[in-house]
Amino acid sequence: MEARVGVVVEGGQRALNTATATAVHNSVVDAGNRKLLQQQPQTQTQSCQQYHQSNKRSLNQQQGHLGIVEHLLAGGIAGAFSKTCTAPLARLTILFQIQGMQSEAAILSSPKIWHEASRIVKEEGFRAFWKGNLVTVAHRLPYSAVNFYTYGEYKKFFNSNPVLQNYKGNAAVDTSVHFVSGGLAGLTAASATYPLDLVRTRLSAQRHTIYYQGIGHAFRTICREEGIWGLYKGLGATLLGVGPNLAIGFAAYESFRTFWRSHRPNDSDVPVSLGSGSLSGIVSSTVTFPLDLVRRRMQLEGAGGRARVYTTGLFGTFKHIFKAEGIRGLYRGILPEYYKVVPGVGIAFMTFEQLKKLLSVPN
């Protein structure tokens, strides 16, 4: 009996020990599994962070670093190249814009673009389409350089604002930043290079009578006859036109490019920047063309001894044109303007984006 009891007790003890060991083992396994499950999301998160950081480093290495000089050079060359390509249409636009001035109305009797182009070729020669292009390039190089560079700097400034950083990725906020940055960049560039713009306009507007013999002669003549402030005639209309024009242009370009990339991410940068720039040019020119027309006419006031037509300032000139020529008068020359900006703005943005890649220094 004692032997049987001993066997039973011994068997019970072994069973108890086995159950205890199993319970301990299961507890350890469960604890290990829980720890593994807790670590797994952290590991996945760390892996994702490392992946994104690696991608970011790789992208930065591909993009490289664009210095101030390289940035200015890319912007200047892009603007000069674009203007040279579209110089014939730019001259036609100016001639149509000044058609309503009394001293020009009788000369420009034909409202047809191709008739006027044929007249220029017949009377002045094919090279006359690039009349004033040297001063255009001299103006566009610093203008576009300052424009593109300051746009990037203004955009950096706003994006570094702690308040705006809370809304990073918001489409409306991003568009507002692009709009304001583009407007400020346009005001900065236009103010810095305005005298060259005025001289360019007067040289391009010359036809049969050559009053200004070149860039230097034009500067000296204007300063002598109209004073130093003659070089800034029409600046108010320019700033009112350039600010909104570039604000709309840059904002539209960024929006079109983002939309394009979201639907066709594999497209080359060339058609994306060319197409987005062309569309942005149409939008911005349509909105701001009347101010550009007023600016051109104010710039030509008193040029070559012609009689003054507008004597009441910016808004008085606007009112005078609207009263005398109607709404169509404010959009005189819009068709050649479209012909000019569609390729012109597209070429400028495309050239700038390609030059940035070419001139960037690897990190």
Residue 128 is classified by DSSP as G
Q: Is residue 287 within 8 Å of 183, Cβ to Cβ?
A: no
Q: Which residues contact 100 (CB under 8 A, 6 or more apart)?
A: 297, 321, 324, 325, 329, 332
What are the backbone angles phi and psi of residue 285, rounded to the nearest 5°? Answer: -65, -40
The 3-state DSSP class for residue 361 equals strand
The 3-state DSSP class for residue 9 equals helix
The Cα–Cα gap between 274 and 347 comes to 6
Placement of tokens 């001894």 in the chain: 305
For the chain, give the percent of residues with pLDDT over 70.
Answer: 72
pLDDT tens for 313-353 read 778 888 888 888 888 888 887 887 888 888 999 999 999 99
Instruction: Name which residue leads in pLDDT, 294 or 352.
Output: 352
Angle at 295 between CA 294 and CA 298, to 5 degrees: 85
Q: Which residues of 156-183 are buried (b: 16+ CB within 10 A; e: fewer)?
A: eebeeeeeeeeeeeeeebbbebbbbbbb
CATH number of 71-360: 1.50.40.10
The 3-state DSSP class for residue 149 equals helix
Is residue 6 very low, low, confident or very high in pLDDT (cuts 50, 70, 90)? very low
Q: Which residues contact 257 (CB under 8 A, 6 or more apart)?
A: 272, 273, 276
Q: Give the pLDDT score at 363.
A: 57
How many H helices and E strands in the chain? 13, 0
Is residue 278 very low, low, confident or very high in pLDDT (cuts 50, 70, 90)? very high
What are the backbone angles phi and psi of residue 361, rounded to the nearest 5°? Answer: -95, 125
- How is the chain split into domains, by residue range? 71-360
Q: Is residue 149 within 8 Å of 181, Cβ to Cβ?
A: no
Task: Enter the tokens of residue 91.
Answer: 């001259």
Cβ of 343: how many Cβ atoms within 10 Å?
A: 17
Q: Which residues pair with 361 in a beta bridge?
A: 65
Beta strands of 154-307 (E only): which ranges?
none
Global pTM value: 0.67
Is residue 176 very low, low, confident or very high in pLDDT (cuts 50, 70, 90)? very high
Closest CA to 234 of 177, 287, 190: 190
**Would you say residue 204 has pLDDT above 90?**
no
